[in-house]
Amino acid sequence: MEIRLTDKQFEQLQTNLIQDALKTMSNVPKFIDIKSEFIAIHKTNVNANQISIPIDKITSLINFERENGFVTDIHFLGDPVFNIVSVNLTIDEIKKMIREA
């Protein structure tokens, strides 16, 4: 049986999975530190190699395939200047970081 989700439904599923993972963990810190070769902070012209993201504010993880690999956008509620960060990590790698935090 195959279930097809719209992009919006997929984003909501990702959000729900992240929130469920957070609910099952105890003593979860409020931030994860992401270290990556590529981190682009949207709405600014900043590139970095490390950023702290508030776990409880993450709303979705969206993976894009590019010619030089893949990029995952992390959407979160936060600073009005930026609320989307692109990193060259997979969704599974980010979820693992959240679980380990």
Q: What is the pLDDT along the chain (101 residues), one digit of tens a residue?
A: 677 878 888 888 888 888 777 666 555 556 777 776 666 676 665 666 677 888 888 888 888 887 777 788 888 887 666 678 888 888 888 888 888 87
> b/e for 65-82, b at 16 or more Cβ within 10 A?
eeeeeebbebbbeeeeee
pLDDT value of residue 85: 81
Contact call for residues 34 and 54 (beta carbons, < 8 A): no
Q: Which of 94, 99, 31, 30 is nearest to 60 (CA)?
A: 94
pLDDT value of residue 31: 76
Distance CA 7, CA 40 (A): 23
Q: Which of 42, 81, 70, 75 is nearest to 60 (CA)?
A: 75
pLDDT value of residue 69: 75
Q: Is the dihedral of CA 7, 63, 20, 55 positive or negative?
A: negative
pLDDT value of residue 4: 81
